[in-house]
Amino acid sequence: MFWILTALILGINIAPFLFFKTDIWNAQGIWVQLCLVLAVSYSFFDNPKKVLIKNKALMFLFGWVCVRAGITMFNSHLINRFHAQTFYPIWNFVMIICLYQLIVQYLNIKQITKILGYLRWVFIGTLLLCVLQHFGLGQFFEMLHKDNPQFNEYFNNPVVGLIGQPTHLAGLLGMSLPLLFLNKRRVDYLAMGLCWIILLFFTGTSKNDPAISGVAVGLVVTFYYLFQTKRKVFNKVLLLVILVGIVSLFILPKDVLLKYVSSQGRYDLWARYWPIAKDHFIMGAGLGMVQVLGINVGYTHPVHLHNEFYQILVELGFVGLIAFLYLVFDYFSQEAFEQTEVILKTIFLGFLVSCFFNYTAHLWFPSVIAVFAYSSMYAINNEERLRHG
């Protein structure tokens, strides 16, 4: 089971090469679901560990997701107009629940640390790929083809990593930074520097623009890790960042500063969906309804809200948002005994911060890493309970 789950988590990187006739994101989804089918099938022949730890928070969230999806599908049946967009989210959520169960039942802290080590090398390799892409040597991935009408507008920013879009890459790099805290060798410090150069200068939607999402995620995970492990260093780094920020306000051109704080149209997007959120505030409009109702608020193509917490409010209502926040609170209340656990928490925190800016939870690549970080904490704590009787 260890090798199947390892292949699932690492294989996302090669999925676009295996399923090259579809887009990168769907290719990654196909890979994850095929691996999960294999893992669940294999579980019938492999004895799992006894699970002593309870996860009421996940139970409440999963229960509400199922109830809300059931209501949406029932209403669709009544008007004989079933939307596939309302089915895909519940199916994907069930896949995530399966991954959680498999990790908790079959992985231990030694295996989890090994997977983190493998992810570390994949992350370093991704950074090197970004360098090649910047110089036009990436070969396999590019943001836009020359026949795309937006090619000249976006200058075909080549730095897209293995996720296919620079802004998504920024969030992914930011939440993956804690992988370099695992060993802290010379190569890790060099990779940290390279990662920050990419985040600050090469991960905007337009060429040579920054992406505030990746910078914010990177800063938060760095501060959180240092606060948990090295308070004195935390104070010094925080002071340094504040000083650099103040100096930047005075020396950087105004147009550059505006690029870092630009909302990229998000405020208008959120405002248009507020009437829907208001009308369905308690129970939500239903899973997938952000895409279904997009045309009603002036969008010709279905959209994500670029804020997963707001999207939860729109689709699952206040009840769903409270259930999710309870899940987050319960996760961070889990005790962290070892460095591995601190790194897992830091990765998951980076994912949550990225969710404020992007539709990170709707992408398989960062979501699988986040679910691995989330589930592993419960797997490790379950192992502790088994060890102590």
User: Furthest-apart CA pair in the chain: how many Å?
Assistant: 64
pLDDT at 347: 97
- 148 and 155 Cβ atoms separated by less than 8 Å: no
Instruction: Tally the residues of the chain.
Output: 389
Q: Which long-range contacts (CB under 8 A, 24 or more apart) does 31-39 make?
A: 31/364, 32/8, 32/95, 32/99, 32/364, 32/368, 33/95, 35/4, 35/5, 35/7, 35/8, 35/11, 36/8, 36/95, 36/98, 36/99, 36/102, 38/4, 39/1, 39/4, 39/5, 39/8, 39/98, 39/102
Indicate the pTM of the whole model.
Answer: 0.91
* Nearest-angstrom CA–CA distance, 106 and 178: 24
* Nearest-angstrom CA–CA distance, 15 and 88: 20
Would you tell me how many other CB atoms lie within 10 Å of the CB of residue 385?
A: 12
pLDDT at 152: 54
* Nearest-angstrom CA–CA distance, 109 and 98: 19
H helices of 137-204, in order, are 151-154, 166-176, 186-201
pLDDT at 384: 87
* Nearest-angstrom CA–CA distance, 184 and 211: 26
Encoded tokens for 327: 């899940």
Q: What angle do CA 32, 73, 39 make, to 5 degrees?
A: 20
Write out residues in the chain with pLDDT < 70, as ranges.
Answer: 78-84, 141-158, 204-210, 255-263, 300-302, 389
* Nearest-angstrom CA–CA distance, 220 and 215: 9
* Nearest-angstrom CA–CA distance, 376 and 380: 6
CA dihedral 380, 227, 169, 293 (to 10 degrees): 80
pLDDT at 133: 85
Encoded tokens for 101: 């169960």
pLDDT at 256: 65
pLDDT at 326: 96
**pLDDT tens, position by position, 75-106:** 777 666 666 677 788 888 999 999 999 999 99
